[in-house]
Amino acid sequence: MGNGEFKRRGLVRSGPNFAMLECMSDDILQRVIKVVAEAQKLPIEKVTVDSTFEELAIDSLDGIQLLFHLETEFDINIPDESARQVRGIKELAEGVENLVAQKNA
């Protein structure tokens, strides 16, 4: 897989080109959870690694706003086409971690 393709795919959650992170950083996960809770005005304890966007009542407009918050928090650029495929907190945190790792490489 070429580096350009990896960057383009960013948050893709499945398929042969997705690099699943076995050991997600707790710091990144906690920051993602905090951003989601604050953006959605939810109690932080309601947002868990296993929460889905449906469970958290995150619709497409909320999702767009959430992306802006995450891009600011982590100083990353989340590709739109990849973000559309994410359906939960775990996938979101894994994608953010991938993008942070790319930025720091």
| Number of structural domains found in the chain | 1
Task: Give dist(CA 15, CA 25) in Å, integer.
Answer: 22
pLDDT in tens, 7-44: 333 443 443 333 443 457 899 999 999 999 999 999 99
pLDDT in tens, 38-59: 999 999 999 999 999 999 999 9
Per DSSP, helices labelled H in the chain are 3-9, 26-40, 60-74, 80-83, 89-104
| Residue position matching structure tokens 């929460």 | 51
CATH value at residue 88: 1.10.1200.10
| Amino acid 56: pLDDT | 97
- Domain with 100, as residue range(s), is 3-104
Rounded average pLDDT over 60-73: 95
